[in-house]
Structure 1
Amino acid sequence: MNGLLSRFLSIVVLGAVALSAGCSGHQRRAGAHDPIVIGWTAWDDAEFVTRLAKAVIEDHTHHPVQLKLAGIGQQYRGVASGRLDAMLMAWLPDTHARYWQRYRRRLVDLGPLYQGGQLGWVVPDYVPRDRLNSIADLAQPDIAARLHHRIQGIDPGAGLMQLSEKALQRYGLNTQYRLVAADARVMSRVLARAEAAHKWVVVTGWTPHWIFGEWRLRFLQDPKDVLGSRQHVDALVRDGFRDDYPQVAAILSRMHLGLPELQDAMLDAHNNGYATAVQDFLARHAAQVAQWTAPGKRH
């Protein structure tokens, strides 16, 4: 696990260097053959949605797409500075509120890619509800001991992790629990091991995610509403992107996925790989993709 975390943090650092190098606040100007540069992060929904958008754009326009892996904070900075053209994983209004407030004047929101996303702390459904049903229940010493005093998290720059740190404080859990940062894939492996052994575990999670199709899970109740309400996940582009790429901006503004179909696609990606899952989605939802790419509807 430590090796995976080190490798992930190295990627984030390299991403930060790449996005900040030569950045002096000027907007990126598109050349005739320049690729569209889209940031993404190593979350399952982010990877599928971004790879799907790349396939749709390249299949229906003459523009190549380059994907850049970076932490979510670096993506906001990259789009705001013009070093990135777009990011497709803006969780609003709560999860990324800090980033949005800081950079919103230099971002263009093309609207939601999907709606109804939920964040929270997740447990296997075999954990008895009468013992553990709320984040507040975690304060009980016997429950803390059974969970080995840890909450398994995801990458440290994620909005979910920032909110989870706040939840530890608000519920008075910060002296009993350690929030463990790691790649989101590590989180899913920790959950898988607990499920296989029928052990108790708490992980930071969200919907849509393939884990909810793989196992019976539930969110712990959040009576203090620290982790936020239902979210919409938007496509953000740099200032000037609509003028440089009107056809692509129109596609992204019409690209919308329902949560059930997205969660099914993510489970397909987990089982068969992202390339297969993207092609499966395009084949199964050809009419929907045709609406996204219909000519004559530009901003």
Structure 2
Amino acid sequence: MSLKKTALYALGLTSLTTFNAYAANQCETVRFSDVGWTDITATTAVTTQLLQGMGYQTETELLSVPVTYSSMANGDIDVFLGNWMPTMENDIKKYRESGKVETVRANLEGAKYTLAVPKYVYDAGVKTFADIAKNADKFNDRIYGIEPGNDGNRLLQSMIDQDAFGLKDFRLVESSEAGMVSQVTRAVRRNQWIVYLGWAPHPMNSKIDMEYLAGGDDFFGPNYGGANVYTNVRKNYLSQCPNVGVLLNNLKFSLDMENQIMNAISNRNKKPNTAAREWLSQHPEQIKTWLKNVKTLDGEPAALAVITYLKQSAQ
């Protein structure tokens, strides 16, 4: 081999080594978006604990849904575990079609997301979306949503703007998940009428005696806003970070599991990572299922490392 070819070959190896090192460094820290809903906080905490037990670093940013997707498109966020579909279709569509955001899999099936009322309101005759305006005075012409920019809020505002179900004189009250649940809890304690965004899984379903309203299919989808929740990643993340990709492909949650962790966060005042560690410690078989064919950052079997990490964290 000539000196020139030898130099070029060495330069190629150096460039490849540098690229591989850069790619590995890019994967050492996994960056999540959490949109502030307890269910996504719970699943993000679980995934964070798994990754930390595998030797990875994690960062979680509290972002709105629109900012989440623009940040993923910009390469600033790697993973989002909270793509509720079909209600987020308008949020993700342009990013999915441009290839800047990719969908890994459904991580939760059988969820729901639509308007709800306390059971005593339901029993009094408010069983559908069409019944809301008939009782405008009792509802004080208000529908309670969550944080501004949320997909559910936008659906509700579009209903009001279009005068769907006769709701043109209603006002959408935006606050936060915790703020809305507190407002509903106060109304129930006073036996007042209130209509609000409800969803499952969420501890509100056991904390509040509540019913979901029928008839909102054109806005929230059929089966009382029946939904699946998907895992999204930024463009090329699965190929750049294949080991994390195997984990994300393995991650499938259950309504019962999320309810347990959310209950610990919302009703027992546990910090999300603490609630996640406690649940994981009690379910080693689930850890093994999620970590099948997954390695630690150092290339060792991940399940044993995570179980050891959880035991050490509990000490």
For the pair 1:187 / 2:180, whether they are aligned, the reply is: yes
Gap regions ≥5 residues in structure 2: 1-21, 296-315
For the pair 1:159 / 2:159, whether they are aligned, the reply is: no
Letter in 1 for 2:113: L
Q: How does 1:1-299 map to 2 (within 5 A)?
A: 30=23, 32=25, 34-59=28-53, 61-92=54-85, 94-104=86-96, 105-140=99-134, 143-168=135-160, 169=162, 171-222=164-215, 224-229=217-222, 230-272=226-268, 273=270, 274-295=272-293
Residue 30 (structure 1) shift:
4.5
Q: Which moved more, 1:201-210 or 1:124-133?
A: 124-133
| Inter-partner Cα distance in structure 1 for 2:209 and 2:292 | 39
| Inter-partner Cα distance in structure 1 for 2:155 and 2:289 | 36
TM-score (norm 1): 0.83
| Inter-partner Cα distance in structure 1 for 2:257 and 2:148 | 28
Where in structure 1 do 4 or more consecutive aligned residues deviate above 4 Å?
none
TM-score (norm 2): 0.79
| Inter-partner Cα distance in structure 1 for 2:95 and 2:176 | 25
Contact 1:213/1:264 (8 A) holds in 2: no
Letter in 1 for 2:80: M
| Inter-partner Cα distance in structure 2 for 1:156 and 1:86 | 22
| Inter-partner Cα distance in structure 2 for 1:121 and 1:295 | 41
Residue 58 (structure 1) shift:
1.1
Q: Secondary structure at the match of 2:267?
A: helix
Kindly report the root-mean-square deviation, in angstroms, between the aligned alpha carbons of the 2 structures: 1.9
Letter in 2 for 1:290: K
Identity of aligned residues (%): 23
Letter in 2 for 1:293: L
Q: Which moved more, 1:260-269 or 1:69-78?
A: 260-269
Q: Secondary structure at the match of 1:39?
A: strand
Q: Secondary structure at the match of 1:111?
A: strand
Q: Secondary structure at the match of 1:48?
A: helix
Deviations 1:42-84 (A, max 9, x none): 111111111111111111x221111011111111111122111
| Inter-partner Cα distance in structure 2 for 1:170 and 1:251 | 45
Contact 2:122/2:211 (8 A) holds in 1: no
Call closer, same or farther: CA 1:241–1:223 in 2, change over 3 Å: closer
Contact 2:114/2:216 (8 A) holds in 1: no
Q: Which has the larger radius of gyration?
A: 2
Deviations 1:91-124 (A, max 9, x none): 12x2111122110021221101101221111111
Q: Secondary structure at the match of 1:195?
A: helix
Q: Secondary structure at the match of 1:276?
A: helix
Higher normalized helix content (fraction of residues): 2
Letter in 2 for 1:173: G
| Inter-partner Cα distance in structure 2 for 1:131 and 1:237 | 44
| Inter-partner Cα distance in structure 2 for 1:224 and 1:54 | 35
Contact 1:135/1:171 (8 A) holds in 2: no
Contact 2:107/2:230 (8 A) holds in 1: yes
Letter in 2 for 1:202: V
Number of aligned residues: 265
Contact 1:210/1:270 (8 A) holds in 2: yes
Residue 191 (structure 1) shift:
0.9
Deviations 1:6-64 (A, max 9, x none): xxxxxxxxxxxxxxxxxxxxxxx7552752111111111111111111111111x2211
